[in-house]
Chain A
Amino acid sequence: MDFSTSLALIAPELVLSLSGLALLLVAAWAGDRAARTISVLACMALGAAFALCLPVVNGGLAGADRIAFDGQFRADAFASLAKLMIYAASLAALVLAPAFLERIRSMRAEYPVLVLFSAVGMSIMVSATDLLTLYIGLEMQSLAAYVLASFVRDDNRSAEAGLKYFVLGSLASGILLFGMSLTYGFSGSTAFDAIGVALGGDLSTGALFGLVFVMAGLAFKISAVPFHMWTPDVYEGAPMPVTAFFASAPKVAAIALLTRVLMEAFGSQVDSWRQIVVFLALASIVVGALGAIGQDNVKRLLAYSSINNVGFILIGLAVASSAGTSAMLVYLSIYVPMTIAGFVAVLMLRNAAGEPIERIADLAGLSRVRPAVAWCLMIVMFSLAGIPPMFGFWGKFVVFQAAVQADMVVLAAVGIAASVIGAFYYLKIVKVMFFDEPSGAVVSGVGERGDRSLGTLLALSTLMISPFGFLATGWLGAVADRAAASLLLLA
């Protein structure tokens, strides 16, 4: 494999890195006045990377000729499908930001650049087939994310969120590194396939420790219970477009990464990690659902909701089969527009002073004041709760179908019973919007700049999770199946 082939395989990452660097220079010279232009250019870069990944996903490409840099990196259909979601979510984060940040005079030129670098990091994460590549991607994504979390510099909560995220994120990275060193020590390699071969047969105690620490470090990144404590605080403190970004793109990346590590590097040790994943899944579902009940802040509620959703996704991982992986991918591709739509809807609301609203109580009577937004948010909520005919149901459906097919009926039954708890707080939002009298907190739209792009984004993402989404199930299923197959195909 020569160098140019490898470069061709990382074309999306190259596009993003180079445009990120170029835009950084533009930002340095032109200053914050050029923020909008840079955002638009960053969007175009993401669009180009998106287009580069499409053929890989459609063709279900996999195998030896998708491996770059001697097994450090793999641009297969699995990675590319995850990249599509990551780029789409990053794009949404760019579209969302100006409307929000300009209002609090914090829109600065480095925002789009940071999002681009974060997207590059995530791309590397999902394509990594070596522990070192994995770590580089993860840190690149995280460093950009730490800055994004504290992006509103003059807001204490934002600074606090950034610091908290940084300290806890570093701790998790440390745990991950420790696990990686143990794994390397007991398997003699950092490449996933070599680790897989070396760890066949009985797992030694040391390697088991390595596995557990790697999983703990990654569980932190996907905020699975019991490593979720940072999530509500960071989500609450970070500016809302950044929260929307955190809840979507990095989740996809970290889950895809965890899947690849477990299915490839530890693929021969399914029995060792399945019980851990089952625990993480059920604990996340239950804690995510229970934790959300008492919340009065929309962002905290959506944080717990994301924990809850991660639990459902992990059920697909616990199945540890091609069907389970495919189900996870389908779930993720529904989860991303669902989350984005939720945040966009909330972002579109503001009070009389023009400030964004965050408290659930402020949503009271929204269906009278902003009916279109309220109806969209209702679709999102029922979708998150998994009530048909909303498309969110389909994600849960495929995950549980995979679990049942793998004879994990009890896991499915417990998980689905716990989703009733989750339904309670989604219903609460609908209740507040539709049943309560308007509180007067939200004023009806006055056609501000940026509202049209937000409206388009909301309409698009709501359309994706509306019952019309079912028409895409055939295509989505086929794509996810091919992607899952490419993951399990040993090079």
Chain B
Amino acid sequence: MGGFPILSLMLLVPLLGAIACLFVNERAARSIALAATAIDLVLGVILWTSFDIGGAQWQFTERADVFAGFAWALGIDGIALMLIVLSVFLMPICILASQAISKRVPEYMAAFLFMEVLMIGVFSAQDIFLFYIFFEASLIPMYLIIGIWGGDNRIYASYKFFLYTLFGSLLMLIAMLWMVNVAGTSSIPALMVYDFPVDAQFWLFLAFFASFAVKMPMWPVHTWLPDAHVQAPTAGSVILAGVLLKMGGYGFLRFSLPMFPEASAELAWLIWVLSMIAVVVTSLIALVQHDMKKLIAYSSVAHMAIVTIGLFAFNVQGLEGAMMVMLGHGLVSGALFLCVGVIYDRLHTREISRYGGLAINMPRYALFFLLFTMASVGLPGTSNFVGEFLSLAGAYQVNSWVAFVGTTGIILGAAYMLYLYRRVVFGEQKNADAAAMPDLNAREWAMLAPLAAATLWMGIYPESFLAPMRSDIAILDARLARAAPESDARLVMGTVAPAAQGGDEAPAHGTDAHGGAH
């Protein structure tokens, strides 16, 4: 591709911004951060528009052998492109959302810009060790963001976040060292087509699983997430939910599935069982939360379970659906955290019962909140519907029980989200201070309106987002074809199915597609 190192430039801009922020005062830091993220957004749009759909699998590649043992190799395919676009899109919004931060602003902005460098780096690294460095380094800014600017219990949350994810990724490092030793290359594209011995794949898969499952997060290693979210500042939550969680899904997509197809198929049951438990259990937990952020955090775990269900469906629909859920969830959960942040900034509590009847004094806010609530539920016309429908349709082709249980999560999702909305926005105005809150200001408009537009765009015309990924998903699907587990639904055209088996399938079929819609 073109010789211009646009990816390196996208890494350099926020990095320079981060360093500059450390040496200036509060006002200048805010401007620098906003400018740097805006430049990266522009570069991201350029990246997207100049991405050659249907062209080479890896585009914008750069390579410089400046290190021993690994290389500065960057390059993206459609999957990475979409995640990078998501990251650069969310970053300026996060900076805007940080207006309420008043202590140690320069360091805060530096941490966020550094975070952006690492996120883009993770998605664009083409060397497995470079990927690891970016992946692991994201712990440092996030630790600081939670620990310095978090809520009351921030210390505990920051430790939990750090040590949980560190333990997972260190096992992955050992697996990476082994793989590079065997395959003789640390290039990700080369490793993606390398056939590792089937018995070794089992252990490698588990080592990567330990890392990605924590990052994802999957039940039962999700417990760091609610703590981290509740304690993180609003913008930290947005980045955490919007992009950091995607690193887990991206890892499955980039490493686990193409590098260990046999082991993925062999251990798919494990993922399915954990995802099914996650969907139901965390949805039920979300239903009884008193804290808005915790509720949305648990809903994230449930949505991520839909992603894993889609990923381990081993077919095009499932994989595309998983990607769409990741993108949609990035927008919607980010937006929901922002919505919480808007009223938190006014009343300084996340307690659901302190609010009520906001539709009366904050009608515009109520409208945005409604849109994002509906998107989170998976209403057709919004981003999440596309992804959830595809994921579950894909899963249904492999295992109808997984699809069935996964779909109950959507019903439960509607329950807890609508219940949350009713308690916060509808009903009577219970507290005078909540009733006196002013409606959205211009800055909040600027944050929420682009998110709303993107959510609708993704729901109404998902082709814009699916098109760049299509050929990459097809390559992955072809790679998985040899190992994909057989479908449990042995439907035969034109013959009458035996009663017993038909009885098994019918309810699953009935809830699947339509459940997704409502």
Please list the residues of chain A having a beta carbon within 8 angstroms of any beta carbon in chain B.
367, 375, 382, 387-389, 393, 397-398, 400-401, 404-405, 409, 412-413, 416-417, 419-420, 423-424, 427, 430-431, 434-435, 470-471, 473-474, 476-478
A474 contacts B67, C-beta separation under 8 Å: yes
**Is B466 among interface residues, defined by CB-CB distance under 8 A?**
no
A400 contacts B159, C-beta separation under 8 Å: no
Can you name the residue of chain B whose Cβ is closest to the Cβ of A477?
Answer: B68
Contact of B144 among A389, A393, A400, A434 (CB under 8 A): A434
Listed A/B pairs (30) with beta-carbon separation below 8 Å: A382-B140, A387-B137, A387-B140, A387-B166, A389-B133, A389-B134, A393-B133, A397-B69, A400-B173, A401-B69, A401-B181, A404-B174, A409-B178, A412-B177, A413-B171, A416-B171, A419-B170, A423-B162, A423-B163, A427-B162, A430-B143, A431-B147, A431-B158, A431-B159, A434-B144, A434-B148, A470-B66, A473-B68, A474-B66, A474-B67
B105-161 at interface with A (beta carbon < 8 Å): 107, 129, 132-134, 136-137, 139-140, 143-144, 147-148, 154-155, 158-159
Can you name the residue of chain B whose Cβ is closest to the Cβ of A372?
Answer: B22
B170 contacts A416, C-beta separation under 8 Å: yes
Q: What 0/1 readout, one digit per residue, does chain B (164-189) give for beta carbons within 8 Å of chain A?
A: 00110011011001100100000000
A424 contacts B132, C-beta separation under 8 Å: no
Q: Which residues of B contact A476 (CB under 8 A)?
A: 68
If over half of B's interface residues share one DSSP class (helix, strand or loop), that class is named, otherwise mixed; here it is helix
Q: Which residues of A contact B133 (CB under 8 A)?
A: 388-389, 393
Please list the residues of chain B having a beta carbon within 8 angstroms of any beta carbon in chain A.
22, 66-69, 104, 107, 129, 132-134, 136-137, 139-140, 143-144, 147-148, 154-155, 158-159, 162-163, 166-167, 170-171, 173-174, 177-178, 181
Task: Taking A409-B174, A423-B166 as given, write out 19 further A-B residue pairs in contact, using a Cβ cutoff of 8 Å, ordered by the A residue number.
Answer: A387-B139, A387-B166, A388-B137, A389-B137, A397-B69, A398-B69, A400-B174, A401-B177, A404-B178, A405-B177, A413-B174, A416-B170, A417-B170, A417-B171, A430-B144, A431-B147, A434-B144, A471-B66, A474-B68
- A412 CA to B203 CA in the complex, in Å? 14
Q: Which residues of B contact A413 (CB under 8 A)?
A: 171, 174
- A477 CA to B67 CA in the complex, in Å? 10
Contact of A477 among B69, B107, B129, B136 (CB under 8 A): B69
Q: Write the nearest CB–CB distance from A53 to chain B, whole angstroms.
A: 22
B154 contacts A435, C-beta separation under 8 Å: yes
- A435 CA to B146 CA in the complex, in Å? 10
Q: Which residues of B contact A382 (CB under 8 A)?
A: 140
B132 contacts A420, C-beta separation under 8 Å: no
Can you name the residue of chain B whose Cβ is closest to the Cβ of A435?
Answer: B147
- A423 CA to B158 CA in the complex, in Å? 13
Q: Which residues of A contact B140 (CB under 8 A)?
A: 382, 387
Contact of B170 among A401, A404, A420, A474 (CB under 8 A): A420
Q: Which residues of A contact B129 (CB under 8 A)?
A: 397
B136 contacts A387, C-beta separation under 8 Å: yes
Can you name the residue of chain B whose Cβ is closest to the Cβ of A478?
Answer: B68
Q: Which residues of A contact B139 (CB under 8 A)?
A: 387
Q: Write the nearest CB–CB distance from B363 to chain A, whole angstroms.
A: 40
Can you name the residue of chain B whose Cβ is closest to the Cβ of A330?
Answer: B68
Can you name the residue of chain B whose Cβ is closest to the Cβ of A412?
Answer: B174
- A439 CA to B237 CA in the complex, in Å? 30
Known: A387-B137, A412-B177, A473-B67. A420 touches B147 (CB 8 A): no
